[in-house]
């Protein structure tokens, strides 16, 4: 899979093709990255809004829309006594990835799988806290072929109290210029009353919007006190 696929796969109408994600595509020579599928890469900056609605103490729902208000992704969040998982779907309800937290780990760790699978053969990426105890928000993201996990493939850094973060390709400390996406909270007067949070996300050209949203959902889960073990 190459740069041409990333450029041709997404139209400016932000209408995404429904279906299962394609195999992982590594970074191309031009710097474009497709982790979940090249159809979620666009040759221009993509602005998205994530709306989180707190439904009850056990789960939230999220919707993701483009600048015109058209639905792009949907996220279902379920917390049970057995496990805590989230499913990122397209507007038609077809699962894109399933986000599952691993239990009994020193660092909070999440595995992200293709579709509705939770089988390790369908692993898309793994994300974990950079440190067991941290005062700022940091996530290390590893692709399946990075088995040693000495250096992360992506880094997320930010301040979750302010609902802001930056996603980097590579180690965000050494590769601080390799920004692929940024998020900040959109403040609305009626947000608290309606039990909603709105986050604005900008994904840089030729980068995977579905991957960025999945990483942000993991970040939200890491900072969710209800899910702390």
Is pTM beyond 0.75? Reply is: yes
**For position 128, which CATH number holds?**
2.40.160.200
Kind of pairing between the strands at 109-114 and 71-79: unpaired
CB atoms within 10 A of CB 130: 17
Tokens for 169? 């390709």
The pLDDT of residue 82: 64
Distances (CA, A) of 227 to 11, 48, 189, 221: 37, 26, 27, 7
Residue-by-residue pLDDT tens, the chain, 229 positions: 444 434 443 333 334 433 433 333 444 435 557 999 999 999 999 999 998 876 555 556 889 999 999 999 999 877 666 667 899 999 999 999 999 987 766 568 899 999 999 999 999 999 998 765 555 678 999 999 999 999 999 999 988 677 789 999 988 776 678 899 999 876 554 444 445 678 899 999 999 999 999 999 998 888 765 444 4
- Is 167 in contact with 178 (CB distance < 8 Å)? no
CB atoms within 10 A of CB 135: 7
Tokens for 128? 């974990």
d(CA 172, CA 186): 24
The pLDDT of residue 124: 98
Which residues lie below 8 Å from residue 58, measured CB to CB, with a gap of 6+? 78, 79, 80, 226
Which DSSP helix (H) or strand (E) runs through 222? Answer: helix 209-222
Which domain, by its residues, includes 32? 3-227
Q: How many residues make up the chain in this entry?
A: 229
Which DSSP helix (H) or strand (E) runs through 8? Answer: helix 3-9
Number of domains in the chain: 1
In angstroms and rounded to an integer, the radius of gyration of the C-alpha atoms of the chain is: 16
- Is 28 in contact with 2 (CB distance < 8 Å)? yes
Tokens for 172? 């965000």
């Amino acid at each position: 899979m190459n740069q041409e696929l990333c450029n041709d796969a997404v139209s400016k109408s932000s209408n995404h093709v429904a279906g299962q994600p394609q195999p992982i595509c590594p970074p191309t020579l031009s710097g474009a990255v497709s982790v979940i599928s090249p159809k979620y890469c666009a040759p221009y900056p993509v602005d998205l809004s994530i709306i989180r609605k707190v439904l009850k103490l056990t789960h939230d729902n999220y919707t993701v829309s483009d600048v015109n208000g058209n639905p792009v992704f949907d996220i279902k969040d379920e917390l049970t006594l057995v496990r805590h998982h989230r499913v990122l779907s397209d507007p038609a309800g077809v699962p894109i990835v399933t986000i599952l937290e691993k239990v009994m780990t020193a660092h909070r760790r999440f595995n992200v799988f293709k579709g509705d699978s939770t089988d390790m053969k369908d692993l898309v990426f793994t994300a974990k806290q950079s440190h067991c105890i941290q005062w700022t928000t940091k996530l290390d993201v590893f692709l399946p072929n990075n088995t040693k996990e000495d250096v992360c493939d992506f880094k997320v850094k930010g301040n979750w109290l302010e609902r802001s973060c930056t996603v980097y390709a590579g180690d965000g400390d050494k590769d601080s210029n390799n920004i692929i996406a940024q998020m900040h909270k959109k403040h609305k007067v009626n947000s608290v009353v309606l039990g909603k949070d709105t986050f604005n996300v900008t994904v840089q050209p030729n980068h995977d919007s579905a991957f960025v949203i999945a990483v942000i959902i993991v970040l939200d889960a890491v900072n969710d006190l209800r899910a702390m073990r």
